[in-house]
Amino acid sequence: MVTDRPRRLESYVAGVWVRGDKDGVTLCDAATGAPVALVDSTGIDFAAALAYGREKGGPALRRMSLHERAMMLKMLAQALMERKEEFYALSTATGATRPDSWIDIEGGIGTLFSYASKARRELPNSRVLLDGDVEPLSRDGTFSAQHMLTPLQGIAVHINAFNFPCWGMLEKLAPTLIAGMPAIIKPASQTAYLAELLVRRIIETGLLPQGALQLVCGSAGDLLDHAGDQDVVTFTGSSATGRMLKAHPAILKNSVRFTMEADSLNAAVLGLDAAPGTEEFDLFAREVFREMTSKAGQKCTAIRRVIVPRAHCDALVAALGERFARLPLGAPADENVRMGPLASLGQREEVRARIRDLAAEAEIVAGDPTRPQLVSGDAEAGAFLSPVLLYCDRPSAARAVHDIEAFGPVSTVMPYETTDDAIELVRRGKGSLVTSVFTNDPDTAQELVIGMAPFHGRVLIGNRLSAKSSTGHGSPLPGLVHGGPGRAGGGEELGGMRGVKHYMQRTAVQGPPGLISAVMGRWIKGAPGRHESEHPFRKSLAELRTGDQLVTGTRVVTLEDIEHFADFTGDTFYAHMDEEAARANPFFDGRVAHGYLVVSLAAGLFVDPAPGPVLANYGVDGLRFLAPVYPGDALQVRLTCKEISPRMNTEYGEVRWDCCVTNQTGATVAQYDVLTMVAKARGEEK
């Protein structure tokens, strides 16, 4: 992919690919120094680009349901996966080895897949999301409230870092698009050629609506001047730039949602129990080594501070030193190479300068920052740097080691005496993305994790039990929160469907339950039910309406029923079987029916037995037994169609029924949601 005449990168704005007015800055191959591309964004009308996204992309996305957007992501992921080799080929220029590129490329595409399937599994197929339960606000039930989430009507501006041009883009794009918001991506210039290729392939699929995705290659110019009150800005990069952007006048004036993920002095702590010779010690050394060398340490989650019981420091330094000595460092295209260069010569200079800062407080105990030992490649033209391990003997008195991020294969070993000391050292990072704890002792794990958790977005416990299955310290996962407080930027990304909600507005809607139901497209407690002669289980998904309600006849529970159920199931708990013992229980005035008997009898009351559109009952949600049921009580069920969620590309969908079981006084004895699969159309009546 690297040509003699570097290609001028293009931006994709307002539905067309455009070049900047100038030739721009030359971007060079990290390993060879050869020019790869030119990047420039001069002359781009950023105000028009943002407006295009808001006016064209936003409405088109909002017309789609959550599941339609999820399916779009799935198809996009499939299309990108088919083209992955093209991305791998170009990724080498960033300095990434094949395993490094895998994290970036397939990790990014995997995030799309993951969001696509989680959204279809966890969210209803609707356009709005409900948040929490109904809040009753009046005694007579005529006034209540429900929180809901709707997509923001602005545009998401994603300003990304150079280290993961694919993953960094896709992990933010996935929740943005699921939420129904358009995005404009501004990749870091240094590796923008790979981001540009990815966006080109995305656009070519034709899967995204016009305006859903735009790209700016080059400087962001006056982009943020036009950020508006419905927009979201996310930033990944240095804390200096992040702080500057967070304080941008337009961001402040319009209260623009700003998510920042900046440098982070992540730590790994070896538990006091994990002495040399234990599996935890070996796993710890392996993890530190992996985090220092994967992506040449250019990972926001990389371990920068290695916190170790004082007695084990020498052994750890020796173990890491041995591993470094065997590390093949060289050209990323070379299959034998395990660590490639940094992203650019400039970045290497930056890291060397930071090592000099750290060396004021710590001594270098492994690696020479000035002379990389290569198995292939050109040490002058390429941005190679050997891993550098430092040791700081008095970390509690030091500052730089807790403050300076050398964004490369650089970590500092720090001794500690007690678990409290270790926690204190970790906290000196002032907030990190992730910290690992390696221990096989439950008390140590509890003390360390609870002591450190408020300072982190993620904590990993490593030990022998999970050694084979652990995803590792450095891997943010789509379902887990990625971000951290304080120094780490204070932002939060991913976390499964939590991440989607960052692009939506939560609104408390108050009013009469019937009207709230109409607004939400979901029946809520207190709203009127619709009674028709036909049993709602006879209706197909297409015919059912939220609010369709069945009020059953009654069924008296007898002592024989209770005893029969006890014998039959083996549940002979005293409250059902022993009058005297039951009376002694503070909750009961005598023998009571089993809760599961109540639920079973309720099903007997509401079920329509003949074959029909209802295909299966796949569970219940929120089951609560609210009052005891005594022999002689008469049960009745009110079953209301609460939510209808058609599944795409299948012949059925999910229906959630509100099930309220009452006794002869009208008191609710059990309350739950019944979850069923219902056919979209009626079958042949038999």
Q: List the structure tokens of 192.
A: 């923008």
* DSSP-assigned letter for residue 548: B
d(CA 491, CA 235): 9
d(CA 3, CA 26): 13
Compute the half-sphere exposure of residue 580: CA atoms within 13 Å on the CB side of its CA: 0
Using CB under 6 A as the criterion, what x/- string covers residues 297-336 for binding ligand NDP?
---x------------------------------------
Which position has the token pair 């999970």?
466
Out of 261, 291, 447, 492, pick the active-site residue. Answer: 261
Q: Which is nearer to ligand NDP, 24 or 151 (CB)?
A: 24
Residue 292 and residue 409 in contact, taking contact as beta carbons nearer than 8 Å: yes
Choose among 266, 359, 361: nearest CA to 306: 266
Total Cβ atoms within 10 A of residue 454:
10
Alpha-carbon torsion 292, 296, 302, 304, what sign? positive
On the 0-12 / 13-18 / 19+ scale of CB atoms within 10 A, 252 is: exposed
| 579 is an active site residue | no
By CB under 6 A, residue 407 contacts ligand NDP: yes
Q: Which helix (H) or strand (E) holds 518?
A: helix 513-520
Candidate list 188, 227, 303, 550; residue touching ligand NDP; CB under 6 A: 188
**Three-class SS state of 636:** strand
Q: Which is nearer to ligand NDP, 238 or 254 (CB)?
A: 238
Using CB under 6 A as the criterion, what x/- string covers residues 348-367 for binding ligand NDP?
--x-----------------
Candidate list 238, 373, 540, 585; residue touching ligand NDP; CB under 6 A: 238
Candidate list 100, 261, 493, 643; residue touching ligand NDP; CB under 6 A: 261
By CB under 6 A, residue 170 contacts ligand NDP: no
| 28 is an active site residue | no
CB of 405 to ligand NDP, least distance (A): 5
Choose among 648, 673, 679, 642: nearest CA to 541: 679
Q: Which is nearer to ligand NDP, 372 or 457 (CB)?
A: 457
Residue type, 630: Y
Per CB under 6 A, the segment of 108-116, 262-270, 509-517, 529-537 that binds ligand NDP is 262-270
Out of 300, 313, 659, 660, pick the active-site residue. Answer: 300
Q: Which is nearer to ligand NDP, 182 or 474 (CB)?
A: 474
CB of 262 to ligand NDP, least distance (A): 6
The site for ligand NDP, by CB under 6 A, has a size of 24
Residue 556 and residue 634 in contact, taking contact as beta carbons nearer than 8 Å: yes
64 beta partners: none
Candidate list 134, 213, 245, 669; residue touching ligand NDP; CB under 6 A: 245
Using CB under 6 A as the criterion, what x/- string covers residues 208-227 for binding ligand NDP?
-----------xx-------
Q: Which is nearer to ligand NDP, 236 or 549 (CB)?
A: 236
What would the DSSP string read from start to end of 576-627? HH-HHHHHHSTT-SS----HHHHHHHHHHHH---SS-SEEEEEEEEEEEE-S
Q: Which is nearer to ligand NDP, 264 or 419 (CB)?
A: 264
Give the pairing type, strands 183-186 and 213-215. parallel
Q: Which is nearer to ligand NDP, 415 or 457 (CB)?
A: 457
Q: Which is nearer to ligand NDP, 128 or 224 (CB)?
A: 224
Candidate list 405, 493, 548, 658; residue touching ligand NDP; CB under 6 A: 405
Per CB under 6 A, the segment of 235-243, 391-399, 516-524, 534-542 that binds ligand NDP is 235-243
First to last CA, the chain: 64
Residue list 130-169, contact with ligand NDP (CB under 6 A): 159-163
Alpha-carbon torsion 57, 58, 60, 61, what sign? positive
By CB under 6 A, residue 439 contacts ligand NDP: no
| Position of minimal CB gap to ligand NDP | 237
Residue 186 and residue 216 in contact, taking contact as beta carbons nearer than 8 Å: yes
CB of 432 to ligand NDP, least distance (A): 10
Q: Which is nearer to ligand NDP, 233 or 639 (CB)?
A: 233
Residue type, 209: P
CB of 225 to ligand NDP, least distance (A): 10
Kindly report the backbone phi and psi dihedral angles of residue 584, in degrees, each rounded to the nearest multiple of 5, phi listed first. Answer: -70, -15
Catalytic residues: 261, 300
The residues binding ligand NDP (CB under 6 A) are: 159-163, 186, 188-190, 219-220, 236-238, 241, 245, 261-264, 300, 350, 405, 407
